[in-house]
Every structure is written in structure tokens, then in C-alpha cells.
Copies of this chain bind each other. A is one copy, B any other.
Amino acid sequence: MEKFEVNILGCGSALPTVKHGLSAQVVNFRDKLFMLDCGEGTQLQFRAAKLNFNKLNRIFITHLHGDHCFGLPGLVCTLGMLGRTADLPVHAPLDAEKVFAPLLDYFFREMPFKVVFMPFDTRKNELLYEDRSLRVSSIPLKHRVPSAGFLFEEKENQRHIIREMTDFYHVPVSKMKDIKAGEDFVTEDGKIIPNERLTSPATPSRKYAYCTDTAYYEKIIPIIEGADLLYHEATFMENDLKRAKETLHSSARQAAMIAEKAKVKKLIIGHFSARYPNESLLLDEASEIFKNTVLANEKMVVTI
């Protein structure tokens, strides 16, 4: 299968610790790298993860809290020193350009590329990026400031040719593309060979949903339904639910309830509050509701 993996660079919450970096991930989809959030220190984690700066395609920022975006100026600076020339799209909530552009303008007067802010409406499930094989859209979340997650969807895959059958029916090479797309084949003497006889079903297309920071928010369920992997914040434990509600964050139990109701295949919880020295308690809490849960960790690479 084509590469589709998630590199976790940071999974701590606002107050940094020695244990966890600030929010950042890199989705590697067919060797294009997509960054999700960019907390302070992300460029160092990126390097430690041995990811290739030249392959960074674009950045998506969930919301404008410092722990999700203060790594941006340093990363941009490093990309410039490494000789990047391609513009860098940064999909972020509306104010990002207003806030970061003066800083970038001051420090990068002679940059060989532009940072292009692409504002989006965090209240909508909106298509943000599309290429031949991938779609990325926003997932409206519920937080103290406008916040949205991101859904990575592999486009529908093609059916697999059964070589013995296409040979048997003398299907010409010129027709293979249509056959893979699901069309039937018509032989020279007009006989229709149903596609199912010539191909086996396509590999199911894969989905990854990144949801942080957010309170428990059931409206995301239809958008992320059936995802192969869901990263959902679990800043607090259920016994700190009062604090979670005040700050519009989720508990581990709530993250698991979303995973359960959206029938995803696997859940990673992260954005851990520094108050819990033993995160296995968060895992226990989530696993009671949704069994296939793991704790996020720096240097974790999850293949989808």
C-alpha cells in the first residue's frame, strides 16, 4: 500500500514539560509531508524524527493558541536557510496572517520563498487541499477560540486487475485504465465481460482525523465516521471534568466516547495536561469505553 503514516512530534498541552513537546504532527502521504500544528520546538522534533525538510508540502494550524503555532517563525527561518524556494501554504484560522506576518516580514526580509496564509472558516467542514490521491478538509471543533481539526482522506482507490482474466479476454493495454476505474469490457465481437470478472475490489481508501483542541463535541461524528485512525485530545481525566468544561477541553473518557460513536478503527489520545505523572490512568479510562486506544508519544509513527 502507498505510504500513509502519522509522525507524532509533540503531544503535551500548553505547559511544556521535559516529557512531552508541544502540539505538532507530520502526516506522510506518499512522501509528501503535511504538518499539523507547530508548537514551539517543532523544528527540533522534526529533525529528531529524521523527516526531510525539503518534502514539507504545507502546514495546517488548528487554532491560534501559542502551544499550537509558536514554532512557525523558527521553522520558516530554518526552511529559508536550507534553501527552500517553493512557497509554503499555511492553512490557519483567519487571524494568523495578521498576527504572524509582521514578525515574518521583519525577520525574513530576504527569504527565498513566501509564506502564504490560507485562512479558512473553522465553523465549516471545508475542503482545504486536494491532489490526485488525497483530500484534506477542516473539522469544526468547540474551543475557547475558533478551532478546527483536519480530516485526511485518501481518494477512492482503483480496482485491482486480475491479470489471468484480462489476458484470457485479450483486453488491450489502452482499455486498462477504464477497467481499473470499474468499467465493463466489450470484446471485438460485442460480448460484454462484467468488470467483476476482470478485477478484484479496490483497497479501501483510508482516513485520518486529527481533533485538537476541543470540548466533547458530537457534531464531528458524521465527519470522522469510520476513520481508520482518530487522534483526539484528552487533556484531562474524568475526575477533572469541571476543569475540562471550563477550558473547553475533553477528558480521556470523552475522547473514547467520540471514537466509539464514530466507529473509528483506532484512537490515539494526546494533548496531555502536565498534571498527570501517570498517563496510563488516562489510557485505562479511555480503554474502558473504546478498546483500541493508545497513548500518543513523541517519536511515535503510526501507519494507517
Residues of A within 8 A of B (CB): 14-18, 21-22, 40-41, 43-44, 47-48, 64-67, 70-71, 73-74, 77-78, 81-82, 95, 98-100, 102-103, 106-107
Contact between chains at A40 and B74 (CB < 8 Å): yes
Which secondary structure dominates chain A's binding surface? helix
Contact between chains at B66 and A74 (CB < 8 Å): yes
Contact between chains at A18 and B44 (CB < 8 Å): yes
Chain B residues near A98 (CB, 8 Å)? 106
What are 10 sample pairs from A and B whose C-beta atoms fall under 8 A apart? A14-B77, A16-B44, A16-B78, A17-B47, A40-B40, A40-B44, A66-B74, A66-B107, A70-B74, A100-B103
Q: Nearest chain-B residue to A106 (Cβ)?
A: B99
Contact between chains at B43 and A16 (CB < 8 Å): yes
Contact between chains at A81 and B15 (CB < 8 Å): yes
Chain B residues near A106 (CB, 8 Å)? 64, 95, 98-99
- Give A93 Cβ to nearest chain B Cβ, in Å: 12
The 4 closest A-B pairs by CB, nearest first: A40-B74, A41-B41, A66-B77, A70-B74
Contact between chains at B81 and A14 (CB < 8 Å): yes
Give which listed residue, B22, B41, B64, contacts A107 with CB less than 8 A: B64
* Contact A71:B40 (CB < 8 A) given known A64-B107, A102-B99, A107-B65: yes
Report the bound CA distance from A81 to B48 in whole Å. 28
* Contact A103:B99 (CB < 8 A) given known A40-B71, A70-B73: yes
Q: Nearest chain-B residue to A74 (Cβ)?
A: B40
Chain B residues near A74 (CB, 8 Å)? 16, 22, 40, 66-67, 70
Give which listed residue, B15, B44, B102, contacts A102 with CB less than 8 A: B102
Chain B residues near A15 (CB, 8 Å)? 78, 81-82
- Give A249 Cβ to nearest chain B Cβ, in Å: 14
Contact between chains at A48 and B18 (CB < 8 Å): yes
